[in-house]
């Protein structure tokens, strides 16, 4: 399982076309993105304070990444000391085999899962299905998309593409004895009844990890609905799945990161639930899982880590602010990308995880406007990384760890840039070209169609700027 | 740079100004000259290399960038009437040419590169006397001018000096217009969706004129407005300021 069943580049254009043609989707995303941006803005009223906090957040993440191998070992030692069993998984397949093995060993069948991008990335739900387990997503949005056989369209708000009428129809037809209603409270009540039963009956609870503290061996989970706490407390076994980059040095690093995470993600000053898990149930405790497992997932991350510039990708705290601020994501929604991580961070992560041959085209869905980089709470230079990956996509032998080099290179495009370069580094040729373009301006074809389908044709001026300057130089009245 | 008065600058005209908006270039020259500055326009200049650079063709971009570094080698400010081209020189040349014999020269060039309105407002601190009739204009600041160069306020400050000009920033002013160089062609449908929203926001201001300090955005927005049959003239900010302050026809 690679996290998505189709080639993300495949039919990307078709998905873009469909998304743009879906007026309801466009309106939903437009409204949601602006709502989230406004909420975030009100949480950071002082721009200087925000910049200082972003500096601290980026520094915390950089410090942790600089010592990543050490910190992971320290985390393993401290977790083990606390009674948390630590496992390492190099690939998605390894992680899935390991996790299904743990569930089997505990003779578990029924699983509840809190929202987690790492488990989406490895396609854990499909692995569970194949193993004959039932796994219910317990985050309300995830539950809705799971029931509809869909994937999340946003990393924080998985069902943001859905409106209440379609959810009302879905619940009415799929959950027995559910009357049709568009009342949001009633819909949530319906979902909650289903989930409550699942929590009570579950053998195993799965979660992700927002941050893991190396010095204390603590798993930190941020959530709003309380479902995460139910998933990690009620069943006898808790399995946490974490990308190896999520480790931080100290507990003292946590407050700044939490401030950045919740305010950037949903515009909340604080999260509703913060779960700090440091051990399984102790002898005199009356609840909590009897076994806690931590799966440390690589899945391509150490390859990203090997390159100094690309390493900045791993600072990501999965807040989704980049997609909330991306004008392309706003128009398309998350499904058009065909990837687990959509939007700007997805455009950077997916080609690195799965190769430029499979996901390199995603990097084109960007106008390099910089909004994502400006929003990123830990200052990941997303536009620079997108551009870097474009370069890797059209170039052979870059010596970088990204797979699928040069596979986005098209001979016609490469030739165009060669000619372009020749003209622009040969001044007389450039002069001649602009001279001809301005003289023949009325004769130029309305080209390219991609431009003129939506805009008036480009029309060169009567005389180029350089000709005006030359004329001025010859003119005795001119100042040069 | 600020300690000694500037009396000579380079003008980097940009290829879009050269071919599509030469009057914007002339306005930049005149505005600088009116402040007593000699404007050196190296006649062999072409483009900054941004189009292939943003497409990932670094080698082709580097070939062009080297010449810019060589042709603008005197230690005087380089003035660019475009946020994205100025951003290319200031923020991307140092890394693009990091392993090149011209690496130091690229660093030096980056340090003395200015966007035109940034230079007029911050370095020269020019004063403007509005001589035109009352008008309502919509100002669009390019993403690169806003984010990469941080010069949004400079353009607005200059416009703010024009007494009879009412300036409105369209709703969602910080949103990209969808140009993005080759993005407008490669992802033309997404680009058009972005441009369409931008045009709607600009029309909603009720402005008579659209201003921007970047020719790429102007071409994109103005091109769509014209296709829509809108009577809303798009103009480069420098040209507008020059005309409003009594400059002779360009």
Nearest C-alpha neighbor of B216 from the set B106, B86, B94: B86
Q: Are strands A273-277 and A218-223 parallel, antiparallel or unpaired?
A: antiparallel
Residue of A nearest to B175 (CA): A327
Which residues does chain A have within 8 Å of residue B55's beta carbon, measured at their own beta carbons? 390, 394, 413, 417
End-to-end CA distance of chain A: 68
ipTM > 0.85 (yes/no): yes
In this prediction, residue B3 carries a pLDDT of: 58
Mutate to test the interface with B, among A40, A412, A413, A424 (most CBs of B within 10 A): A424
Nearest C-alpha neighbor of A389 from the set A367, A365, A413, A405: A405
Q: Do A331 and B194 touch (CB under 8 A)?
A: yes
pLDDT digits (tens, 9 = 90+) for B150-171: 999 999 999 999 999 999 999 9
CA dist A466 and A128 (Å) reads 67
CA within 13 Å, CB half, B87? 22
Residue B6 DSSP class: P
User: Is the Cβ–Cβ distance between A269 and A263 less than 8 Å?
Assistant: yes
End-to-end CA distance of chain B: 30
Taking one residue from A and the other from B, the number of pairs with CB-CB distance under 8 angstroms is 191
Average pLDDT, chain A: 95
Q: Do B47 and A328 touch (CB under 8 A)?
A: no
CA dist A338 and A11 (Å) reads 9
pLDDT digits (tens, 9 = 90+) for A421-460: 999 999 999 999 999 999 998 888 888 899 999 999 999 9
In degrees, rounded to 5, the angle at the alpha carbon of residue A140 between the alpha carbons of residues A136 and A143 is: 35
pLDDT digits (tens, 9 = 90+) for A256-305: 999 999 999 999 999 999 999 999 999 999 999 999 999 999 999 999 99
Sheet holding A211-213, edge to edge: A247-248, A211-213, A218-223, A273-277
Which residues does chain B have within 8 Å of residue A413's beta carbon, measured at their own beta carbons? 55
Cβ-nearest to B176 among A327, A421, A424: A327
User: Is the Cβ–Cβ distance between B128 and B162 less than 8 Å?
Assistant: yes
pLDDT digits (tens, 9 = 90+) for A451-465: 999 999 999 999 999
Gyration radius of chain A over CA positions: 26
* Phi (first) and psi of residue A162, to 5 degrees: -105, 145
Which residues does chain A have within 8 Å of residue B153's beta carbon, measured at their own beta carbons? none
User: Is the Cβ–Cβ distance between B130 and B165 less than 8 Å?
Assistant: yes
Residue of B nearest to A449 (CA): B185
Q: What is the pTM of this model?
A: 0.96
CA dist A377 and A261 (Å) reads 8
CA distance A461 to chain B (A): 5
Q: Is A476 helix (H, G, I), strand (E, B) or coil?
A: coil
- Regions of chain B where pLDDT drops below 50: none
- Does pLDDT of A210 surpass 90? yes
CA dist B105 and B127 (Å) reads 33
Q: How far is Cα of residue A47 from the mean position of the Cα atoms in its chain? A: 25
Sign of the torsion formed by the C-alpha atoms of B152, B155, B157 and B162: negative
In this prediction, residue A1 carries a pLDDT of: 40
In this prediction, residue A475 carries a pLDDT of: 66
- Does pLDDT of A326 surpass 80? yes
């Amino acid at each position: 399982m690679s996290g998505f069943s189709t080639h993300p580049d495949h039919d990307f254009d078709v998905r873009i076309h469909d998304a743009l043609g879906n007026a309801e989707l466009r309106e939903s995303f437009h409204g949601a993105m602006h709502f989230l941006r406004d909420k975030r803005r009100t949480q950071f009223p002082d721009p200087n304070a925000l910049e200082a906090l972003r500096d601290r957040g980026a520094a915390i993440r950089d410090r942790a990444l600089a010592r990543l191998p050490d910190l992971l070992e320290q985390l393993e030692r401290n977790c083990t000391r606390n009674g948390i069993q630590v496992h390492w998984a190099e690939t998605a397949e390894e992680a899935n085999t390991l996790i299904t093995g743990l569930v089997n060993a505990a003779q578990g069948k029924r699983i509840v899962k809190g929202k987690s991008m790492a488990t989406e990335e490895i396609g854990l739900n499909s692995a569970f299905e194949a193993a004959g387990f039932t796994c219910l997503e317990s985050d309300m949005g995830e539950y809705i998309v799971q029931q509809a056989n869909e994937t999340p369209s946003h990393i924080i708000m998985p069902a943001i593409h859905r409106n209440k009428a379609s959810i009302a129809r879905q619940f009415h037809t799929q959950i027995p004895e559910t009357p049709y209603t568009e009342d949001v409270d009633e819909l949530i009540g319906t979902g909650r009844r289903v989930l409550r039963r699942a929590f009570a009956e579950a053998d195993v609870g799965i979660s992700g990890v927002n941050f893991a503290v190396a010095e204390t061996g603590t798993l930190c989970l941020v959530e709003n609905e309380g479902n995460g706490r139910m998933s990690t407390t009620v069943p006898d076994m808790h399995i946490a799945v974490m990308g190896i980059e999520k480790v931080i040095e100290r507990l003292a690093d946590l407050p700044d990161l939490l401030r950045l995470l919740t305010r950037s993600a949903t515009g909340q000053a604080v999260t509703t639930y913060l779960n700090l898990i440091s051990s399984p149930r102790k002898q005199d405790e009356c609840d909590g899982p009897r076994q806690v497992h931590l799966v440390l997932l690589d899945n391509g991350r150490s390859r990203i880590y090997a390159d100094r510039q690309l390493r900045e990708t791993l600072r990501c705290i999965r807040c989704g602010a980049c997609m909330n601020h991306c004008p392309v994501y706003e128009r398309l929604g998350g499904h058009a990308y065909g990837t687990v991580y959509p939007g700007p961070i997805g455009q950077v992560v997916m080609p690195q995880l799965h190769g430029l041959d499979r996901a390199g085209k995603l990097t084109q869905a960007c106008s390099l406007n910089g909004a994502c980089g400006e929003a990123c709470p830990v200052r990941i230079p997303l536009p620079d990384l997108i551009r870097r990956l474009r370069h890797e996509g059209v170039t052979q032998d870059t010596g970088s760890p990204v797979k699928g080099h040069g596979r986005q290179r098209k001979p016609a495009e490469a030739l165009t840039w060669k000619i372009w370069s020749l003209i622009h580094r040969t001044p007389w040729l450039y002069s001649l070209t602009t001279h001809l373009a301005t003289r023949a301006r009325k004769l130029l074809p309305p080209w390219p169609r991609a431009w003129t389908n939506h805009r008036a044709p480009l029309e060169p001026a009567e005389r180029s700027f350089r000709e005006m300057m030359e004329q001025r130089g010859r003119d005795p009245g001119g100042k040069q | 740079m600020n300690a000694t008065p500037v009396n000579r600058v380079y003008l980097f005209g940009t290829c879009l100004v050269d071919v599509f908006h030469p009057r914007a270039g002339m306005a930049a020259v005149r505005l600088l000259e009116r402040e007593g500055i000699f404007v050196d326009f190296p006649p062999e200049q072409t483009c900054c290399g941004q189009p292939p650079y943003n497409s990932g063709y670094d080698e082709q971009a580097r070939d062009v960038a080297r010449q810019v570094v060589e042709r603008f080698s005197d230690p005087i400010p380089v003035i660019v009437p475009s946020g994205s081209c100025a951003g290319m020189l200031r923020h991307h040349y140092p890394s693009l040419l990091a392993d090149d014999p011209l690496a130091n020269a690229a660093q030096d060039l980056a340090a003395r590169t200015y966007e035109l309105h940034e230079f007029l407002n911050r370095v020269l601190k020019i004063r403007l006397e509005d001589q035109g009739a009352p008008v309502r204009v919509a100002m669009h600041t390019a993403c690169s001018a806003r984010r990469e160069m941080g010069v949004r306020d400079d353009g607005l400050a200059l416009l703010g000096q024009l007494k009879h000009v009412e300036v409105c920033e369209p709703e969602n002013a910080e949103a990209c217009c969808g140009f993005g160089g080759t993005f407008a062609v490669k992802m033309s449908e997404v680009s058009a969706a972005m441009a369409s929203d931008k045009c709607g926001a600009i029309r909603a201001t009720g402005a008579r004129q659209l201003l921007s300090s970047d020719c790429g955005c102007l071409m994109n927005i103005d091109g769509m407005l014209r296709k829509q049959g809108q009577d809303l003239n798009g103009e480069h900010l420098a040209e507008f300021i020059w005309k409003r302050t009594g400059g002779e026809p360009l």
